[in-house]
A and B are shown apart, each in its own frame.
Chain A
Amino acid sequence: MRLLHNKLTMRLAILALTVIAPFALPAFQVELTFLWIMIVFALSWDVMGGQAGYNSFGNIAFFGIGVYTAAVTQIGLFNDVGAYTAAAGGASLNVTQAQYFIGLVAGLAAAPIVAIIAALLLGAALLGLRGHYFAIATLGLGIALGELAAGWAWIGGSSGLQVLVYPGTLASQRLLFYFLSAGLGLATFFILHRLYATRFGLVLNAIRDDEDKAEALGLRTTRYKIAGWCIAAGIVGLCGGLMAHIIGFIDPREVAFAGATFGVWMVLMAILGGKGTIWGPVIGAAIFHVTRELFWTYLYAWQNVALGVLIIVVVVFFPTGLLGWVRQRWPRLFAVTTAGEPSA
């Protein structure tokens, strides 16, 4: 598409929109923050799901690990976590501004690291599985960890964990986390965009299309699968770290390891937009986010039913997603002729 030929203009436009949006639409700051979070969800899932063909239902596990790691690290740096959770909200902590922000940064740094360590451990068991066996094995990951978290008193157990209170105005908190989320979203997009143009992207796609053939060519498929899995885990783990602060209170089953909600939605978003592409998950996340808000507003009690129906409709009728549908309907927008020149 000719519009995209001027990459610099487009990039600057996106950057400008991103920066202006929270000020132009102050009432929607939280919504916009969530939009970026959803984009990160979808993009990170797509690394293994769309690009490598390893459809995981369990990435939420890494998200939840990130959520708890960030919160616990921030608390634990200067206070006793156990005492805090045992008091269950009865005691509030005296934390200086400096301590808060040091803890914030440390927590956000630790979140992806712990998530990646978990990914390495789980990957050793899971990445030898293929196709639907892999998908089903990952199905329970989120729920299992959610139950374990609910049973671990040190991090708050079933009662949950209260994240440290932001030392500042609500407005500045919202702006801070909007920009952090937007930053993560933009960074994820650009890093993955560049990554997919390298050998990494080629090998992941080869694994997706025919893993045996990829092996027969001598490709080190195991290494690439582990790398992709860790990248996906790290990104979604960092996302979890942010979410801990955005939501402020961590419930092990509803917030951290929300397998039946966010866990499934990240799969749906990528498929909705078109899995295996760089824009597909972004578009899917945007559409899904808006749709979900509409369902919440107009269908409150039935919103999850509607979302379930949406999953069915997308998967059955639009398995290639919106991008795939557009490509079929208007092939000239994407089509490449045999001469190797893009048409239109």
Chain B
Amino acid sequence: MDNISILIQAPPLALQLLIDGLLIGSVFALAAYGMALVWGVMNIINICQGQFVLIGGYVALTVARQGLPPLLGVPVAAAALFILGWLCYRAVIFRIVERDLFVSLLATFGIAIVLGQLMNNIFSANLETLDAHLGNWFLFNGLVSISQIKVVASAVTLVIAAALVLFMRRSRLGQAIRATAQNPRAARILGIDTDRIYAMTYALNAAICGASGALIAMIWVIQPFGGLIFTVRSFMIVILAGIGNLPGVILAALGLGVAEQFVGFIAGAQLQIAFIFSALVVILAFRSWRLNRQRRYLA
């Protein structure tokens, strides 16, 4: 593989990939956090997570095409997806909340298919990206470029993440969500309307995905059928970090971002995608093998 030798001969290139990986990876962390939230609170693995991200991207795209400043796309996408998430909950999700996980897998898969097709019909099947009209910083005599929008995106991600953490710890709704996650029956007895909490959680997750998607549209590309990959990325990050481990989520997300960039460079785009799905299998198989030695299994 001569791509590897290129990397070795030109360290700035490796640095470029590393920086890109870290910046892009940081945005993945948001979607992963949202997935962990829905999983922890409602015991639903949200397969349409990736689709929500993409729709966020398309909303941001639309905003930019109206001539508005691209970064405005982030809050607009968050708001739009909040509504979409709430609608999904009211239409479908509330019926599957306390049922077995396989039902939630298939139902959210169905939603993902519906949304994906809708995106395909409304926008085209082409790859799209959003140009935020920001420049690049250059290091090492122009060998390494750090696109400013990627840095801005990471910064925005950090801000959103911090806001989320504060929200979950300090606000009443945040505490109610955490209470429901730990014990829905007890929460109900204490007067918490768990149905409303679930709706809020799901909608909040969708909003998080929307914001994340808007950022991704600016720093990468989006296409209507790329949802499943994002879902799998989020799932992998959650598996690696564990639900409720925010620093772990960030680290895992960064790691995944970097790994992806390197694989993509060394082996090409198709193998990059294959890598993600294979990595999932490997991680799960390894985890399961380790537990198996103690006669336990992943549950």
Which B-chain residue is minimally distant from A313 (CB atoms)?
A: B110
Q: A137-B281, A260-B225, A302-B117 are in contact. Are A132 and B105 (CB under 8 A)?
A: yes
Which A-chain residue is minimally distant from B47 (CB atoms)?
A: A139
The stretch from B148-156, B191-199, B210-218, B265-273 touching chain A is B265-273
Collect the chain B residues with CB atoms within 8 Å of residue A315's CB. 96, 103, 106-107, 110
B284 and A312 contacting across the interface, CB-CB below 8 Å = no
A135 and B281 contacting across the interface, CB-CB below 8 Å = no
- Of residues B109, B271, B276, which shows the largest number of chain A Cβ atoms within 10 Å of its Cβ? B109
The stretch from B4-12, B58-66, B73-81, B291-299 touching chain A is B291-299
Q: Is B289 an interface residue (CB 8 A)?
A: yes
Q: Is A316 an interface residue (CB 8 A)?
A: yes
Q: Is A26 an interface residue (CB 8 A)?
A: no
A140–B114 Cα gap in the complex (Å)? 19
A316 and B96 contacting across the interface, CB-CB below 8 Å = yes
Contact of B288 among A55, A133, A145, A264 (CB under 8 A): A133
B111 and A148 contacting across the interface, CB-CB below 8 Å = no
A140 and B281 contacting across the interface, CB-CB below 8 Å = yes
A267–B105 Cα gap in the complex (Å)? 12
A55 and B118 contacting across the interface, CB-CB below 8 Å = no
Collect the chain A residues with CB atoms within 8 Å of residue B186's CB. none
Q: Is B133 an interface residue (CB 8 A)?
A: no
Min distance, Cβ A178 to any Cβ of chain B, angstroms: 30
B109 and A125 contacting across the interface, CB-CB below 8 Å = no
A57–B235 Cα gap in the complex (Å)? 15
Q: Is A304 an interface residue (CB 8 A)?
A: yes
Collect the chain A residues with CB atoms within 8 Å of residue B298's CB. 129-130, 133
Which A-chain residue is minimally distant from B115 (CB atoms)?
A: A308
A311 and B45 contacting across the interface, CB-CB below 8 Å = no
Collect the chain A residues with CB atoms within 8 Å of residue B271's CB. 147-148, 151
A246–B198 Cα gap in the complex (Å)? 48
Q: Is B240 an interface residue (CB 8 A)?
A: no
Q: Is B143 an interface residue (CB 8 A)?
A: no
A151–B269 Cα gap in the complex (Å)? 9
Min distance, Cβ A301 to any Cβ of chain B, angstroms: 6
Q: Is A214 an interface residue (CB 8 A)?
A: no
A132 and B284 contacting across the interface, CB-CB below 8 Å = no
- Of residues A141, A145, A311, which shows the largest number of chain B Cβ atoms within 10 Å of its Cβ? A311
B297 and A135 contacting across the interface, CB-CB below 8 Å = no
Contact of B299 among A131, A301, A316 (CB under 8 A): A131
Interface 1/0s, chain B 203-240, versus A by CB < 8 A? Answer: 00000000000000000000001001100100100000
Q: A260-B225, A308-B114 are in contact. Are A144 and B103 (CB under 8 A)?
A: no
A144 and B278 contacting across the interface, CB-CB below 8 Å = yes
Q: Is B274 an interface residue (CB 8 A)?
A: yes
Q: What's the tally of chain A residues with a CB closer than 8 Å to chain B?
A: 42
Collect the chain A residues with CB atoms within 8 Å of residue B107's CB. 311-312, 315-316
A154–B249 Cα gap in the complex (Å)? 40
* Interface magnitude class on chain B: 35 or more
A330–B277 Cα gap in the complex (Å)? 44
A129–B116 Cα gap in the complex (Å)? 29
Which B-chain residue is minimally distant from A129 (CB atoms)?
A: B288
A143 and B273 contacting across the interface, CB-CB below 8 Å = yes
Q: Is B95 an interface residue (CB 8 A)?
A: yes
Q: Is A126 an interface residue (CB 8 A)?
A: yes
A130–B285 Cα gap in the complex (Å)? 11
Min distance, Cβ B270 to any Cβ of chain A, angstroms: 4
A133–B105 Cα gap in the complex (Å)? 11
A312 and B114 contacting across the interface, CB-CB below 8 Å = yes
Interface 1/0s, chain B 81-122, versus A by CB < 8 A? Answer: 000000000001001100001110111011111111110010
A53–B243 Cα gap in the complex (Å)? 26
Min distance, Cβ A274 to any Cβ of chain B, angstroms: 15
B277 and A141 contacting across the interface, CB-CB below 8 Å = yes
Min distance, Cβ A324 to any Cβ of chain B, angstroms: 14
Collect the chain A residues with CB atoms within 8 Å of residue B276's CB. 140, 144
Min distance, Cβ A137 to any Cβ of chain B, angstroms: 5
A125 and B268 contacting across the interface, CB-CB below 8 Å = no
Collect the chain B residues with CB atoms within 8 Å of residue A131's CB. 101-102, 299
Min distance, Cβ A138 to any Cβ of chain B, angstroms: 8
A8–B277 Cα gap in the complex (Å)? 48
Contact of B289 among A122, A128, A148, A316 (CB under 8 A): A128
Collect the chain A residues with CB atoms within 8 Å of residue B299's CB. 130-131
Q: A144-B277, A264-B109 are in contact. Are A308 and B117 (CB under 8 A)?
A: yes
Which B250-291 residues have C-beta < 8 A from chain A? 268, 270-271, 273-274, 276-278, 280-282, 284-285, 288-289
Min distance, Cβ B291 to any Cβ of chain A, angstroms: 9
Collect the chain A residues with CB atoms within 8 Å of residue B280's CB. 136-137, 139-140
Which B110-150 residues have C-beta < 8 A from chain A? 110-118, 121
- Of residues B47, B116, B274, which shows the largest number of chain A Cβ atoms within 10 Å of its Cβ? B274
A211–B270 Cα gap in the complex (Å)? 37
Collect the chain A residues with CB atoms within 8 Å of residue B109's CB. 57, 264, 311
Q: Is A95 an interface residue (CB 8 A)?
A: no
Contact of A125 among B102, B228, B235, B282 (CB under 8 A): B282
Which A-chain residue is minimally distant from B231 (CB atoms)?
A: A139
- Of residues A144, A150, A305, which shows the largest number of chain B Cβ atoms within 10 Å of its Cβ? A144
Residue pairs across A and B with Cβ atoms less than 8 A apart, 16 shown, are A55-B102, A122-B281, A130-B298, A131-B101, A131-B102, A132-B45, A136-B105, A137-B281, A143-B229, A260-B228, A302-B121, A305-B118, A305-B121, A308-B117, A315-B103, A316-B96
